[in-house]
Amino acid sequence: MSTLEELNDEINQLEQELLLLDKKADKTQPAIIKSVGVVKRGRGRPPVVEDERFIEIWNAATQDGKDLRQVAVDLGIAPASASVRASLLRKRGNTLSQFRRGRRKKIQ
């Protein structure tokens, strides 16, 4: 056997080993994800603030009398994004209190 043939044989063996390792990794990866608690990332940009933290800030703001703009500044996102995210979290079954309707009265 020439050196070239030996190298090709070695390359083929390594490729087969890699395929076997990939198959094993595919089988064990969901178990690892479940045991560690890592959630598979969905489509789009990752959130700036995690859901639990968002809910805490949102509910605290509604109790403290803050408005949507102040919550958005605290979270570092746009007010419209904060509002949409709150409604989507409500749809998923999370308990988020709502802000009071209408304009605030001026304190004189």
For 29-54, the pLDDT digits (tens) are: 555 455 555 556 667 777 778 888 99
Answer yes or no: do 1 and 33 share one domain: yes
Task: Provide the percentage of residues in the chain whose pLDDT is more than 70.
Answer: 81
Residue 27's pLDDT is 62
Full residue range of the structural domain in which residue 7 is found: 1-37
Domain assignment present for residue 100? The answer is no
Domain assignment present for residue 96? The answer is no
Q: From residue 31, how far is each of 17, 28, 43 by CA, in Å?
A: 22, 5, 22
Domain assignment present for residue 27? The answer is yes
Instruction: Supply the Cα-derived Rg of the chain in whole angstroms.
Output: 26
Q: How does 43-74 read in b/e, with b if 16+ C-beta sit within 10 Å?
A: eeeeeebeeeebbebbeebbeeebebeebbee
Domain assignment present for residue 57? The answer is yes
- Report the domain count for the chain: 2
User: Which 3-state string (H, E, C) describes 14-39?
Assistant: HHHHHHHHHHHHHHHHHHHHHHHCCC
Q: What is the mean pLDDT of residues 64-87?
A: 88
